[in-house]
Structure 1
Amino acid sequence: MTARTALGASSGVAEDAPVVVAARRTWIGTAGYGHRARTEVDLAAAVLRAVTDDTRAAGVEGAVADVVLGCCTGPGGNVARVAALAAGLGVRVPGLTVDRQCASGLAAVLLAAQQVRAGDARLVLAGGTESASTAPARTFRGAPAGYARAAFTPVPWADPQMGAAADALARRRTVTRERQDAYAVRSHARALAAHAAGRFDAEVVGVGAPQAGPSRVPTAGRGRLDRDERARRLDGSRLARLPAAFTPDGTVTAGTSSPVSDGAAAVAVVPEAVRRVLGVPGLRLVASATVGCDPAEPGWGPVPATRAALDRAGWSVDDLAAVEMVEAFAAQVLAVTDALGLDPLGGDERVCADGGALALGHPWGASGAVSVVRLFSRLVRAGAPAGTRGLATAAVGGGLGVAALVEVVR
């Protein structure tokens, strides 16, 4: 047994340690297509119901203490509370909506873990949801036109658009166009292989008819996705001919950027004491870190966040068996993996082994939670032994990074 699976086995795990015991996501749709008539609540309610059913099937008893969901572009209000009610969890279950942009779903899971670790809850559902297709247009009162996004920083701090920031990061960290193209081909090829092998099937819940009652979206397009919509066979030679998408002299293209997407993901978090009594496997949330970095270089955030989390856990990158990184841009992923000593283009199977957001899609508020669902499938559902370790991490506009370290317990 290697160090990656032998270290930190589940013996001696504290009873209040937070553990993920169920994890689900929707298929991810490209904005304007497969989920175009589904709201963020429709998507979230589907995964909340599925995760609740999974926890009950595993023998977890007692009421859900809270629902924590990430969401970036929803209609406002408390999306988590609305989704909890729509999922049929009952009026006594509250809700908390989190906006940490592309790491919102991961931040929600970490907040749930904190509730469990503090002894305030014995079952929390957490994750994220995003419906870019139905998100409302926003405008300042009296302004002649709407705006695409809120400011991530105040003047005079840099506040680049994410594509331009990825171009700048590629220049600073010497990530070539050829490597970006190769990584995009890798992501799509792996996602297609995972689809063909059925490796996503156990983690996904289909989204059926939306909840009854008035809807703010048209009735057209209420079909049911049966795969992640974005993944396709990429031709490297054609990819190489795509023009720069964001800056005139840039290397980032539409083919090496994640699409705007719709989707949701959720997990169930309980204390180790509950998991141990039930005898079910899970992912223990061992350590995490949320850090700031230069707002001009937002894609760099996972580097200091991962290093801080590893330091808190006393682990090294070599101890990790699986890494899920939100693939906003191929340039950003490669800059981070280069800095951390990972080499996905050199045969390192640990990084996004079944593809990531480049191929599956990037529903902003949900993507961090999708990473946790993917780790659950890759490690727990796949039968990895106790002590096997993983990392989920995401970069955030405005200059942030979030990282979470997990370990299989059985």
Structure 2
Amino acid sequence: MIIAARRTPIGTRGRALARLRVEDLAAPAFTAALADAAVVLEDGLEPRIADVILGNCMGPGGNPARIAALAAGLGVEVPGESVDRQCGSGLAAILDAAAAIRAGDARPRIAGGVESASTAPVRSIEGVAYERAPFAPEGWADPDMVRAAEDLAVHDGISRERQDAHAARSHARARAARAAGRFDGELVPLAGLEYDDAIGAAEPLLRRLPALFPGGSLTAGTATRIGDGAAATVIMPRHLAGSAPGLIIRGHAVVGCDPALPGIGAAPAALAALERAGVDRDRLAAIEIVEAFAAQSLAVLDRLGLAEDDPRICSDGGALALGHPWGASGAVSMVRLFSRLVRAGAPAGTLGLAAASIGGGMGIAAVVEVVR
């Protein structure tokens, strides 16, 4: 059961959070989530945290979860595990923590994700730097994510107009949520940054931005901004949480798909998670799908049979507006569900879905339910 969920603002790479290392981002989110957990639990958070599981994609190595645990003052006896499932890493970390508890270890855990794209090390082989490791072996299609999104737009016939409208809607929803204070309960301000700094940044330019590929439809405005940030949840067995409100994981799934079209992975993952949870998509009250690109998000929604303007989907804006801190984004989606459902007072039994497509041709999703 997730009893607390916090995140930092997402800072665009190279901007407000650029000087903070992964532990500088993650530790404050840990501390805030633990403080929230202590408030809702009648007898405090006992026993001590059993483990810290943290999604991270781009380094710096050295087990960021353990380093962040020490930086947060959790004590030398608290171990850490770092998970790399690319854009699904943060959500994968939460599912791994829940699985450990279901397996019989009833001690609470911290799980989430962190990414400092600004401080990620340059990687090289024999002194030659490369931008990213391969997502597939030789002989397989292995497009970078921008190329993959353009290819998906062509494959599915997703127009420039639909993409622009989707990005504009994400920004408009995020601006409204920020003005209404709907982010305030989840955010841990850092380095003078109080809100996600990409909100609204591309909105006035969307229809004027040039295509990223000749004759293509993808633009800088319909691709998310790479960001720095962290998200953390506190997870424990439901029977030890007393009357504390929270989210239980009803069903989850990780699936593979064609590496040539990795952006569609969230769709089969969501369908599998719904089937395992035994619920229909129409019963979902809140849906968070990581919006790496407008074309990718639209392709997923089309496959799920969901309208692109469905108010349940990223109702406060998604990654197109908030930013995309790779290894943290899946955990950010869970924090958003916690705010939209638990903090907002949704009744017990209300259902939500978090999902992400993953580089290399995978998808991850989880169905959650409010308990009170």
Which structure has the greater CA radius of gyration?
1
Task: Within 5 Å, give how 1:235-246 maps onto structure 2.
Answer: 235=203, 238-245=205-212
Check whether the contact 1:129–1:366 (CA below 8 A) recurs between aligned residues: yes
Q: What is the rounded CA distance, in whole Å, between the counterparts of 1:52 and 1:272 in structure 2?
A: 16
Check whether the contact 1:28–1:361 (CA below 8 A) recurs between aligned residues: yes
Percentage of matched positions with identical amino acids: 59
3-state SS of 1:139 partner: strand
Q: 1:299 aligns with which of 251, 263, 267?
A: 263
Task: Within 5 Å, give how 1:272-287 maps onto structure 2.
Answer: 272-275=238-241, 277=242, 279-287=243-251
Aligned to 1:398: 360
Task: Within 5 Å, give how 1:117-156 maps onto structure 2.
Answer: 117-140=102-125, 142-143=126-127, 145-156=128-139
Q: How far off is 1:173 after superposition?
A: 1.5
Task: Within 5 Å, give how 1:149-298 maps onto structure 2.
Answer: 149-207=132-190, 223-232=191-200, 235=203, 238-245=205-212, 247-275=213-241, 277=242, 279-298=243-262
Check whether the contact 1:45–1:87 (CA below 8 A) recurs between aligned residues: yes
Q: Are 1:79 and 2:64 an aligned pair?
A: yes
3-state SS of 2:124 partner: coil
Aligned to 2:276: 312
Q: How far off is 1:130 after superposition?
A: 0.4
Aligned to 2:342: 380
Q: What is the rounded CA distance, in whole Å, between the counterparts of 1:305 and 1:39 in structure 2?
A: 32
Q: What is the rounded CA distance, in whole Å, between the counterparts of 1:105 and 1:230 in structure 2?
A: 20
Q: What is the rounded CA distance, in whole Å, between the counterparts of 2:5 and 2:203 in structure 1?
A: 33
TM-score scaled by length of structure 1: 0.88
Q: Are 1:70 and 2:36 an aligned pair?
A: no
Q: Are 1:99 and 2:84 an aligned pair?
A: yes
Q: 1:365 aligns with which of 319, 327, 349?
A: 327
Deviations 1:24-52 (A, max 9, x none): 00011000001011011100111011111
What is the identity, as a one-letter code, of the residue corresponding to 1:226?
Answer: E
Q: What is the rounded CA distance, in whole Å, between the counterparts of 1:285 and 1:178 in structure 2?
A: 37
Q: Note closer, same or farther for the CA distance 1:150–1:55 as it changes in structure 2 (3 Å cut).
A: same
Check whether the contact 2:187–2:195 (CA below 8 A) recurs between aligned residues: no
Aligned to 2:35: 53
What is the identity, as a one-letter code, of the residue corresponding to 2:222?
Answer: T
Q: How far off is 1:344 after superposition?
A: 2.7
Q: How far off is 1:331 after superposition?
A: 0.4
Q: What is the rounded CA distance, in whole Å, between the counterparts of 1:33 and 1:234 in structure 2?
A: 16
Task: Within 5 Å, give how 1:346-361 maps onto structure 2.
Answer: 348-361=310-323
Q: How far off is 1:234 after superposition?
A: 5.2
Check whether the contact 2:203–2:221 (CA below 8 A) recurs between aligned residues: no
Q: Note closer, same or farther for the CA distance 1:96–1:233 as it changes in structure 2 (3 Å cut).
A: closer
TM-score scaled by length of structure 2: 0.97
Q: What is the rounded CA distance, in whole Å, between the counterparts of 1:108 and 1:133 in structure 2?
A: 22
Q: Are 1:27 and 2:12 an aligned pair?
A: no
Q: What is the rounded CA distance, in whole Å, between the counterparts of 1:285 and 1:235 in structure 2?
A: 35
Gaps of 5+ in 1: 1-18, 208-222
Aligned to 2:24: 42
Gaps of 5+ in 2: none
Q: How far off is 1:235 after superposition?
A: 5.0
Check whether the contact 1:192–1:233 (CA below 8 A) recurs between aligned residues: no
What is the identity, as a one-letter code, of the residue corresponding to 2:39?
Answer: A
Q: How far off is 1:121 after superposition?
A: 3.5
Give aligned pairs, total: 369
3-state SS of 2:287 partner: strand
